[in-house]
Amino acid sequence: MSMLLQFTRTLSFLCILGGFLACDTNPAKNTGPENENKNLDAVNGTPVLDGSASDEAWENAAWYPIPYSWKENAPDSNDFKGRFKVLWDDNMLYVLAEITDDTLTDIHPDGLIQYDDDDCLVLYLDEDASGGDHAYNYNAFAYHIALDGKVADMAPDSSNQFFDEHCISRRTTSGKISVWEVGVKVYDGKTYTDGGENIPKMLQQGKKLKFAAAYYDNDRSSEKEHVMGSFPATSEPKDNAWQNADNFGIMELK
């Protein structure tokens, strides 16, 4: 009888312990990819834009991954890996992206025709962190930076336009690894007008913006095969960052 009682007590203890562990909500144990890149820090510094990660200014900036597939099929790890850092000074944001891609493809050299179907780095920027729709307005910008450095996005009238004056980019490639270094001028999208006298915002410590990074991957096809982004897609279609800024990460200028 005593053995049965002891077994019953032991079983009860194990059940209670199992329930406690199952209900453990310690954030340190529940961190995962879905929590990455929603809070980003941009460190103050001014790099030399030469397509190199060796600049001393980058040493104190944190790496953030680009791990999420925004299309049905995700690329093999040998085909794609991506990560980025961000710096800022009074005049610009600076993005350093390290992209592993086994095939670099640019079969639409015009730059405005199917610019999103070639290999390109895409930087999404919402200056006042308001989020929301930006499909046919400048509430946020989606800078598609091509292999040749051209920068394209859609204008409010649905036309494709170059925004080369917004971004200064340099890219170097060695084997499968490309290093992109981009200086981005920050504009107030609420007042920005095509052909107008648009003055970039001066940046200061403590400012918060919405930001995301992505990479469009084409392996010599007529259309891109993969879209990889820095935040998880939570709704359909997955690749809706071009029109919705809600899920961009909040980036603070430190």
- pLDDT tens across 10-31, in order? 434 433 334 333 333 332 222 3
How far is the C-alpha of 254 from the C-alpha of 251, rounded, in Å? 9
The closest of 116, 100, 95, 248 to 180, measured between CA atoms, is 95
| Residue found under tokens 């144990």 | 29
pLDDT digits (tens, 9 = 90+) for 160-212: 999 999 999 999 999 999 999 999 999 999 999 999 999 999 999 999 999 99
Tokens of 156: 């409010």
d(CA 85, CA 40): 9
pLDDT of residue 26: 30
Q: Which residues contact 182 (CB under 8 A, 6 or more apart)?
A: 49, 94, 95, 96, 97, 121, 123, 145, 167, 168, 169, 170
Q: What is the pTM of this model?
A: 0.83
The pLDDT tens digits of the residues spanning 91-104 come to: 999 999 999 998 89
Structural domains present in the chain: 37-253 (2.60.40.1190)
